Amino acid sequence: MTEELTRKVHLRRATDVHDDVPTWAWEYNGRGRIALGTAALFAGRPGAGKSTSARWLSSQVTVGTLDGCWLGKPSNVAYIAREEAVEYIVKPSFRAHGADLGRVYFPEVVERYGDDDEQILSAVTTHDIHALTEQLIAAEVRLVVVDPLMSMLGAKADVNRNNEVRAILDPWRRLAEVIDGVVLGVAHLNKAGNGDVVAGINGSSAFGEIARAVFGFAKDPTSDDGERVLSQEKNSLGDESLALRYRIESTTVQTASGKSADVARFVILGDSDKSVGDVLREASRGAMDKSDQPIDAWLLELLETGPSWHEDIVEEAGGNGWSKDQLRRSKDRINAAGTVIRAVKSGGKGAPWFWLRGDLVGTVLAEGGLYASEPPPLPALPSKQVGGSVSPGVTSNDGNLGKDGGPESDRGTSAETAALPLSACSVCGRPCKPTIKAHVECLTDRESA
């Protein structure tokens, strides 16, 4: 007879809760960085050294030299490597960082088919979490590294579905609580240049949400001697003010075969005056200044002094040999780098569009109109475009040109434009100063609408 599961809601008083402060598995400069019983992430682009740094931290745990609750108490670690060969890269890397190899475990699954004595070794997945947990507890493992964490999703999981990703990652977060230790995942960053490391982790936002601590790793393109930057980008339980310089150095180790191997080693150099987010944003801006993307520098310079009509931008870009598609891609790249270019409609249906840099909106309004300086000659809008039926809200669009950036005929015919003087407000149609295209109050009302 099967017993039925019963559920009952219970209210627990706050006075019955034993509150406490976090116990820190890793501290740096006297401040907690990774809390016991939580999941953490090391995130960076390929070649940044995030896996090497994970093995450095693991090695410190095995010999009891990591500042935190394990200082002076050597502990066991488990390293799940899915992209690097254990024999040729991972174990030699542990050697290079001075690990106690007797405390390092590499989880793997042993499979047999039927009565065949042959064993097949395969990688651990989330499906093996219960059996893995038993083995980790028996071996007194306190730190588990999953490199990369994305490999736990499998081929069938949709990385864009937050609920699917959470269902796979949650067991690893709970594993940290069960072993009273830490699960450290290694993750890749996408190529977005806005500097947001947590949002830039490849895959679902669930990666950054589940982790209580996230660290970014990046090469510093401005460094002449190969220095890199590590910074804490998220710390749900403590301080985030960690920014360090580090270097990946080559060191020689002797393997079990008796042969020598040159292996990468993670070395902290000291504090950094910039974060990984700063480095990524600088790299993006630098990429736009290179000769292979001259259109980006041109567009930024064009909008530096104030807004420009979309039709004028397209015409000038065409004169330089750039198509509408190239112009749209340039706008997307600049936006990804953090300098927002807004496409704003100057009136109701059929009214022209203009582009302006988001950081100049306040200056434009403060100086009295659409342009921060004397505008280029522009025919006035026809009365049907600026009359009382004009929509009260500014239409802003960051999409494609032409369709969303303003039709090519958005200024109307010369006969239509002759109906109003050049000094007509492009929003309400009433007269305004000849040096501006709209009243301050009109634009202000639109911005606040």
Considering only CA atoms, which of 144, 141, 24, 145 is closest in space to residue 75? 141
- Whether residue 263 sits in one domain with residue 163: yes
Per-residue model confidence (pLDDT) at position 297:
85
Evaluate whether 152 touches 169 at the Cβ level (below 8 Å).
yes
pLDDT tens digits for 150-164? 888 876 777 777 888
Q: Assess whether 44 and 77 both reside in one domain.
A: yes
Alpha-carbon distance of 379 to 412, in angstroms, equals: 9
Q: What is the mean pLDDT of the chain?
A: 80
Position 362 scores a pLDDT of 56
Using CA atoms, how far residue 416 sits from 352, 361, 411, in Å, is 14, 30, 9
Q: Does residue 266 share a domain with residue 321? A: no
Do 268 and 299 belong together in one domain? Answer: no
Give Cβ neighbours of residue 315 (< 8 Å, ≥ 6 apart). none
Same domain, residue pair 294 and 230: no
83-92, 98-107, 276-285, 411-420: range with lowest mean pLDDT: 411-420
How far is C-alpha 315 from the chain's CA centre? Answer: 35
In a domain, 341, yes or no: yes
Asked if residue 156 is part of any domain, the answer here is yes
Same domain, 271 and 296: no
Torsion of CA 248, 254, 259, 260, to 10 degrees: 30
300 assigned to some structural domain: yes
Q: Which tokens in the block code for residue 9? A: 């809601």
Q: Which amino acid is at 2?
A: T
- Give the per-residue pLDDT at 33: 98
What is the spatial distance between Cα 201 and Cα 178, in angstroms, rounded to a whole number?
26
Inform me whether the pLDDT recorded for 205 exceeds 90: no
Task: Report the pLDDT averaged over residues 241-255.
Answer: 96
DSSP per residue over 16-61, as a string? G-----PPEEEEETTEEEEETTEEEEEEE-TTS-HHHHHHHHHHHH
pLDDT of residue 161: 78
Q: Are 168 and 154 in contact (CB under 8 A)?
A: yes
CA angle 388, 381, 399 (to 5 degrees): 95
Residue type, 348: G
* Domain span including residue 99: 20-275
CA-closest candidate to residue 101, choices 269, 254, 266, 260: 254
DSSP alpha helices (H): ranges in 367-435?
383-386, 414-417
Judge residue 186's burial from the number of C-beta atoms within 10 Å of its C-beta, 0-12 exposed, 13-18 middle, 19 or more buried: buried
The Cα–Cα gap between 173 and 397 comes to 40
CA distance 38 to 177: 7
CA–CA separation, 93 vs 296, rounded Å?
42
Q: What is the pLDDT of residue 19?
A: 93
Top-confidence range, 107-116, 130-139, 343-352, 384-393: 130-139
pLDDT score of 352: 80
- Statement: residue 410 has pLDDT above 70: no
One domain, residues 203 and 165: yes
- What is the C-alpha separation between 62 and 434, in angstroms, rounded? 75
User: Which residue would you say has higher pLDDT here, 428 or 69?
Assistant: 69
Mention every residue, 6+ apart, whose C-beta is less than 8 A from residue 165. 153, 157, 159, 203, 204, 206, 207
Same domain, 233 and 123: yes
Q: Which of 214, 249, 275 is the last residue of a domain?
A: 275
Q: Is residue 190 part of a domain?
A: yes
pLDDT of residue 178: 97
Dist CA 214 CA 276 (whole Å): 12
Q: Residues 335, 197: one domain?
A: no
Whose structure tokens read 């009260």? 392
What is the maximal distance between C-alpha atoms in the chain? 93
Give the residue from 247, 275, 303 where a domain finishes. Answer: 275
Q: What is the dihedral of CA 79, 85, 87, 91, to 10 degrees?
A: -40
> What is the reported pLDDT for 429?
61
Check residue 308 and give its pLDDT. 84
- What confidence score (pLDDT) does residue 383 get? 36
Lowest mean pLDDT: which of 161-170, 200-209, 290-299, 370-379? Answer: 370-379
E strand or H helix at 79: strand 76-81
Q: At what angle do helices 129-138 and 162-178 cross, to 10 degrees?
A: 20
Instruction: Examine the fold and report which residue of 231, 249, 275 is the final residue of a domain before the chain moves on.
Output: 275
Alpha-carbon Rg of the chain, whole angstroms?
29
> For the chain, how many structural domains are there in total?
2
Residues 296 and 258 in one domain: no
pLDDT tens track for 17-27: 999 999 999 99
Domain check: are 269 and 411 in the same one? no
Q: What is the CATH number of the domain that holds 133?
A: 3.40.50.300
> Does 372 score more than 60 pLDDT?
no
Mean pLDDT of 305-324: 82
146 has a pLDDT exceeding 90? yes
Considering the domain boundaries, does residue 6 fall inside one? no
Confidence of residue 2 (pLDDT cuts 50, 70, 90): low
